[in-house]
Chain A
Amino acid sequence: MENGLFQKLKKSNGVKFILYPIVFFILSCLILILALAPLMTPVFSIWDMITLAEPPAFNQEDAPITLNENATVVEKIVVPSDGEQYGEMEIPSAGIKAPVYYGDDAKTLRKGVGTYAGTYIPGQRRTILMAAHNNTYFHTLGEAQVGDQITITTTYGKYVYEITGSQVALATDKTAYDLTKEEENLILYTCYPFNALGITNRRYFVYAKYVSGPQVPLETEGGN
């Protein structure tokens, strides 16, 4: 009888050593959930927003893009991610052929022509502002004359612009460009003079009007 009781006691203690900690854990979690209930939904939403499906990949070479020269219609234009190549620019009269990226930070401009993210991209029926370095991709921009063509072939269509003018202006001169125009037009700029040493406060602007290329329908102009 004593042995039976001892066995019972031993068994019940073994279960308690596992059961009680689990109960304590569950109770603590319940208390935390009740206490933090108002915060849980926003916290989980933020957590979902800041996590990706896969770990981010770094230092990858730009994936080759497929340019679309033949599209005649475009219903919707998806704006590329920052630093993403989405096209190629050619100005035959100036001997310029360069990749076109979205964004215009220092790293992007090292690789090609950057599109200012505060404007639009070809096909969106608005002003497009693009820049490149004077010592590399836009070194010969000054050779392009009025009437010369600029071709930008993107992943969603081919766009042609005709140069209408150029000027040298101060970098801080906001009258040198109009970002609010409600018709598609292209502005290229770079530091000036082209062989300048150091940082100058002058910029060389080239203005071009839209000639051809698929544009978003009028009711969705200015956006996707």
Chain B
Amino acid sequence: MNQQSKHFKGRSAVSIVLSFLFSIFISVFALLLICLATLLNPGYLTSHIQGSEYSQYRAEELKEIFISYGMASNFDEKIMSSLIDPTQVQKDILANAQAIYKGQEEAVSASHEQEFYDKLAQNVSDRDISMTEENKQAVRELAKLCAEAYETEVSLPAASQVSNILGKIKLPVWIALGVDAVLMVFTGWYLFHLYRRRYRSIAYLIYALSGSALLIGLPGLVVLLSGRIARLGIINQALYSLITDYIYGVLSGLLWSAGVLLAISIILYFVWRAVRKKFIANSQEYRLKSNAPKEY
């Protein structure tokens, strides 16, 4: 009887450890999946560029810059504003965002310099100003300056560094996901088969899933409720809008994952109750051993 008691306690300890490990593996798996779905997913970045109005803000900033250049070069606000096409700005920004994931520095290889020059030269002609060689050169310089400012504004900050990092972590993340999946399946399978009375195994699975839900969801919830994300000290409105939107999306992903794990735990709880109830109802052995020492 004592040996049986020790055996039960030993198995109980192993179950708790396995359940804890299973919880860790599930958490890591969920975090890696979120990483793949957000950080390493070009679609996630492009959807947030559109959703956060990043390109609209950038287009407005470009207009301000171009108007300022116009104030230094005898071109009025109207012509300088007309150089900016918000739709084209968005297209170029999205192309640059995609390029980050393809390992390219920039996708906007075609400069808009000639297009700007043509419009400015047309404006000069409309104003009956003679296009001398000196004027041509000066207008070309302005077009070049505008093109440079345009390329700076439509490219994402630190694009090449980010592209570099993303390129390096992609493979390790996939490998880690695979390894973790194997460990998770193995631990879960072993835990499930540790007890002949399945409701005990299910109980440990529930502990693991709930623990993972807490580990993934609670820190995210705390960060979200603290309001720190909204207080990030980013002085550029476009960048602020994009980064906060991006982070909120990741936090939402964490909370959704926690929610899914919790939902699975709840479903398993009802399964556990049903299996246990059936076992108690059908088992004569349980009734005979009702005075036996508790196994858990």
- A interface, CB within 8 angstroms of B: 1-2, 5-6, 9, 13, 16-17, 20-25, 27-29, 47, 49-56, 58-59, 106-107, 109-110, 133-136, 191, 195-201
CB neighbours of A50 from chain B (8 A) = 232-233
- Interface range, B side: 35 or more
B8 at interface, CB cutoff 8 A? no
Known: A21-B211, A56-B234. Is A198-B24 also a contact (CB below 8 A)? no
Q: 8 Å CB contacts to A: which residues of B41-73?
A: 61, 64-65, 67-73
B214:A198 contact, CB within 8 angstroms: no
CB neighbours of B237 from chain A (8 A) = 58-59
Max count, chain A CB within 10 A of own CB: residue among B61, B141, B149, B214:
B214
- B interface, CB within 8 angstroms of A: 16, 19-20, 23-24, 27, 61, 64-65, 67-75, 120, 124, 129, 135, 137-142, 145, 149, 203, 206-208, 210-211, 213-215, 218, 228, 230-235, 237, 240, 269, 280, 287, 290, 294
A110:B68 contact, CB within 8 angstroms: yes
CB neighbours of B124 from chain A (8 A) = 197
CB neighbours of B23 from chain A (8 A) = 21, 24, 28
- Identify the closest chain B residue to A59 (Cβ): B237
CB neighbours of A20 from chain B (8 A) = 16, 19, 207, 210-211
Interchain pairs with CB closer than 8 A, number: 133
- Identify the closest chain B residue to A107 (Cβ): B64
Known: A5-B290, A13-B203, A16-B203. Is A195-B74 also a contact (CB below 8 A)? yes
| CA A109 to CA B69, docked complex, whole Å | 9
Contact of B138 among A13, A133, A136, A200 (CB under 8 A): A200
A199:B24 contact, CB within 8 angstroms: no
| CA A195 to CA B139, docked complex, whole Å | 13
A25:B269 contact, CB within 8 angstroms: no
A2:B235 contact, CB within 8 angstroms: no
20 A-B interface contacts by CB (under 8 A): A17-B203, A21-B23, A22-B211, A28-B23, A28-B24, A28-B211, A49-B233, A58-B240, A106-B64, A109-B71, A109-B72, A110-B67, A135-B70, A135-B71, A135-B73, A196-B74, A197-B129, A197-B135, A198-B139, A199-B69
| CA A27 to CA B214, docked complex, whole Å | 12
* Chain B: minimal CB distance from A36 (Å): 13
* Chain B: minimal CB distance from A165 (Å): 23
* Chain A: minimal CB distance from B161 (Å): 17
A198:B207 contact, CB within 8 angstroms: no
B19:A17 contact, CB within 8 angstroms: no
